[in-house]
Structure 1
Amino acid sequence: MDGSSMLKNQSFESSKVIAVTCISSIYANNFVVMGSLVGEKDGIIRSVSDTPPTHYQVIIQSFSLLSENAEKYESAEFEAGGYKWKLVLHPNGNKSKNVEDHISLYLAMADATSLPPGWEVSAVFRLFLLDQNQDNYLIVQDSQRKQRQFRRLTPEWGFDQFIPITVFIDSSNGYLVDDTYLASLTPPPKIYADYSLVLSNELWTSASYKENHWFSASSRGSGSANFIPLRFCLEPAYKYLVKDCLFFRAAVTIRGIASTL
């Protein structure tokens, strides 16, 4: 059976921007049901929240057929931060990494080969799994909230051991009900920051540039194309160049973090 016939893909986007808040609503009964699943282990945090994801979801029907007939499934493409992405699912674990007894789930760039050589996209993301019994979500994310660098040679990041298969297929846990489940994603956030760039010299005077900017996956950099004339940097009288070195300083103040609904 064609895997695409068992899947429904939905994308949620609008121009509304909200502040990201911390996830705090942990359901006590889920600690009993899932045992040690909720918490931090091996660099991964699993928590539970009734706050739904904001950007993209994949509904998989007839999961048993998918697991019997496919080692990997890739979702339809969706857009976040100005780039094309997809979810990559290994229903029986990622065999290329010798994963057993767990479902593997990853976020992948859909057009990584189109990136110029040396270019990368940094993203922080979370993956969600709906508990259909409790109407809340298992959230899986890196414990350090690290930015992951998506490149041509490393186009996907995620979790080799997203969830144990035994936990997932137990209908009492609510993840797989009537052979159907739903996986979701929150997009990389946008960060609003004030920053200043300073070129120092030995005379305690300096060239400086101040600005504010919304940083995101599609707008990772900001600055001045005409920060200082090159001849000033090279002129000995200004003492910017010392022992063939220039000394730059940067100060950054984060004013807000937001995600798009």
Structure 2
Amino acid sequence: MADTPKEEGIVKTVSDAPPSHYVVKIQSVSLLRNNIDQYISDAFDVGGYKWKLVIHPNGNKNKKVNDHISLYLKLADTSNLHPGWEVHAVIRLFLYDQKKDNYYVVQDAEEKTRRFRAMKEEWGYDRFIVLTEFNNVSNGYVVDDVCVFGVEVSVRKEIKFPGRDCLTLIQDPVEDKLSWEIKDLNFRKDCYESNALQYWKIQIYPKGYEGGKGTHVSVYLALAEAKPSTQIYAEFIVRMIDQSNSNHISSSKPEKCWFNATNAAFGWPKFISIEEFRKPEYGYLVNGSCRVEAEIKVLGMAEPDAMISNNSAHDCKEIILT
């Protein structure tokens, strides 16, 4: 076998032992080369993970390779892995010499581990073997238009990083206005909820809630959908509208708060006394109808982000100004 170009950190050897984990036998190699740029094998299990072998019979064009076969191992199913996961594995890729009954093997020197992760699910060799060497009939890599590739995987460890946030701070927040009219409000029902607007909904407790129960109408601003590990930082104000135009005002003070799955609502148990709310001259309750408005500015959001570099500190937050 002629020498292939040397690549730093890569060892190319010959082995009598076949690959212990997976083999792909390709019939009609000529048709593969002429019709398919990339072949991805079925999934196979090693070390508790599913893998696939990826073959570029004419070289990986995305890497500008056209004179070698490119061969890679891909982690096939990452849906059940912890956010921020890494799987460290040693890989050996094989090509069967059918004449000599041995295997051409490419692997990293000193059994270097490769880090499979969300940003890099595939590892291997852009220049696994020179195409002229592979196609040379004097060698035994292709016999009767058939060739055989294989792989061994040694999983060394899985790293599960703690959850991390990507915090986005909004430089020029847009104000949303949520306007809600409750018709046929009665004091038998404990709670009314508005329809959702963007991330938000309003809750009204006509008989009061928490510290205002029995004496006050309680009003809350709440997340329409409280997603786990997602936080929204908002500035907001809530008003109860005087429908009689007598210029009575019942309004909260401007507030700023982080909303999340465990703190999904912020409000005022004693927003307005039930006595005042029911007085006709104030116009808050007219023919069983009341109106509430909220003005909301989202100032920032923090969401899980497994894409942050795994070299960063475990409690790292990426700050993005928009």
Structure 1 length normalisation: TM-score? 0.58
Q: CA deviation at 1:173?
A: 1.0
The reply on whether 1:35 has 2:2 as its aligned counterpart is: yes
Runs of 4+ in 1 over 2 A off after TM superposition: 39-43, 112-117
Contact between 1:115 and 1:152, CA under 8 Å: does it hold in 2?
Answer: no
Matches within 5 A, 1:1-261: 34-37=1-4, 41-188=7-154, 216-217=156-157
Structure whose residues are more often helix by fraction: 1
- For the structure 1 residues 116 and 137, does the alpha-carbon distance in structure 2 shift closer, same or farther, using more than 3 Å as the test? same
Contact between 1:50 and 1:136, CA under 8 Å: does it hold in 2?
Answer: yes
- Tell me: higher relative CO, structure 1 or 2? Use CA pairs within 8 A at least 6 residues apart: 1
- For the structure 1 residues 86 and 217, does the alpha-carbon distance in structure 2 shift closer, same or farther, using more than 3 Å as the test? farther
- For the structure 1 residues 94 and 62, does the alpha-carbon distance in structure 2 shift closer, same or farther, using more than 3 Å as the test? same
Counterpart-to-counterpart distance in 2, 1:167 and 1:143:
22
Counterpart-to-counterpart distance in 2, 1:151 and 1:112:
9
Structure 2 length normalisation: TM-score? 0.47
Q: CA deviation at 1:69?
A: 1.0
Q: CA deviation at 1:131?
A: 0.3
Q: Counterpart of 1:213?
A: none
Alignment root-mean-square deviation, CA = 1.8
Q: CA deviation at 1:42?
A: 3.0
Q: CA deviation at 1:125?
A: 1.1
Q: CA deviation at 1:162?
A: 0.2
Amino acid at match of 1:127: L
Counterpart-to-counterpart distance in 2, 1:149 and 1:158:
11
Q: CA deviation at 1:108?
A: 0.3
Gaps (5+ residues) in structure 1?
1-33, 190-215, 222-261
Listed one character per residue, the Cα deviations across residues 23-57 of structure 1 (whole Å, up to 9, x for unaligned) are xxxxxxxxxxx1224x9643211111111121110
Counterpart-to-counterpart distance in 1, 2:79 and 2:63:
22
Structure whose residues are more often strand by fraction: 2
Q: CA deviation at 1:114?
A: 4.2
Contact between 1:132 and 1:175, CA under 8 Å: does it hold in 2?
Answer: yes
Q: CA deviation at 1:81?
A: 0.3
- For the structure 1 residues 217 and 84, does the alpha-carbon distance in structure 2 shift closer, same or farther, using more than 3 Å as the test? farther
Deviates more, 1:82-91 or 1:48-57: 48-57
Higher Rg: 2
Listed one character per residue, the Cα deviations across residues 131-175 of structure 1 (whole Å, up to 9, x for unaligned) are 000000111001242110101121000000000000001121100
Counterpart-to-counterpart distance in 1, 2:118 and 2:80:
8
Contact between 1:84 and 1:109, CA under 8 Å: does it hold in 2?
Answer: yes
Listed one character per residue, the Cα deviations across residues 239-260 of structure 1 (whole Å, up to 9, x for unaligned) are xxxxxxxxxxxxxxxxxxxxxx
Q: Counterpart of 1:28?
A: none
Percent of residue pairs identical:
53
Counterpart-to-counterpart distance in 2, 1:50 and 1:40:
22
Amino acid at match of 1:184: G
Q: How many residues align?
A: 160
Counterpart-to-counterpart distance in 1, 2:148 and 2:53:
12
Counterpart-to-counterpart distance in 2, 1:112 and 1:67:
30
Q: What is the DSSP-based 3-state SS (H/G/I as helix, E as strand, rest coil) of the residue aligned with 2:118?
A: coil
Q: What is the DSSP-based 3-state SS (H/G/I as helix, E as strand, rest coil) of the residue aligned with 2:150?
A: strand
Counterpart-to-counterpart distance in 2, 1:67 and 1:36:
23
Contact between 1:82 and 1:217, CA under 8 Å: does it hold in 2?
Answer: no
Counterpart-to-counterpart distance in 2, 1:91 and 1:112:
26
